[in-house]
Amino acid sequence: ETGVTQSPTHLIKTRGQQVTLRCSSQSGHNTVSWYQQALGQGPQFIFQYYREEENGRGNFPPRFSGLQFPNYSSELNVNALELDDSALYLCASSSPRQGATNTEAFFGQGTRLTVV
């Protein structure tokens, strides 16, 4: 087990609703990244948080937002849900080392979101 936990594991929402997904990072990890994985695709980067600040964002609209808390856990919020938001949402935690170029990321088991 990676020590990264996500909740809930499964969720069904209606188009137009809002959703909050949660992630507890591995102990000692200060960086959390969120990814969206649609069926048959690789994970796509949404954004990353480092010490409670957004530290990079992928090509996702502003209705995708997030937070990181002092204990480094994180939330992903999606407003105005669309059918295409149906996907597996993955959280990955890491602790980048200064000057390092090869930092392993540990994934949670994901939240499977279905929008109907």
Partner 1 sequence: RKEVEQDPGPFNVPEGATVAFNCTYSNSASQSFFWYRQDCRKEPKLLMSVYSSGNEDGRFTAQLNRASQYISLLIRDSKLSDSATYLCVVNRGNTPLVFGKGTRLSVIA
Q: Among residue numbers 32 through 51, which ones bind partner 1 (CB under 8 A)?
A: 33, 35, 40-45, 48
**For residue 99, what are the contacts with CB-CB under 8 A and spacing of at least 6?**
none
| Element at 105 (helix H, strand E) | none
| Cα–Cα distance measured from residue 105 to residue 55, given in angstroms and rounded to the nearest whole number | 15
Instruction: Please identify, using beta-carbon distances, which residue of 18 and 41 lies nearer to partner 1.
Output: 41
Chain centroid to CA 12 = 17
**Contact stretch for partner 1 (CB under 8 A) within 19-27, 60-68, 70-78, 99-107:** 99-107
Angle ∠(108,110,112) on CA atoms, nearest 5: 175
Chain centroid to CA 36 = 7
Q: Does 17 bind partner 1 (CB under 8 A)?
A: no
Instruction: Please identify, using beta-carbon distances, which residue of 56 and 61 lies nearer to partner 1.
Output: 56
For the record, the structure tokens of 57 come out as 């964002």
Q: Does 96 bind partner 1 (CB under 8 A)?
A: yes
Query: CB of 62: closest distance to partner 1 in angstroms?
Result: 18
Bridge partners (DSSP) of residue 12 are 114
Q: Does 5 bind partner 1 (CB under 8 A)?
A: no
Note the residues at the interface with partner 1 (CB under 8 A): 2, 33, 35, 40-45, 48, 56, 58, 88, 90, 92, 96, 100-105, 107-110, 112
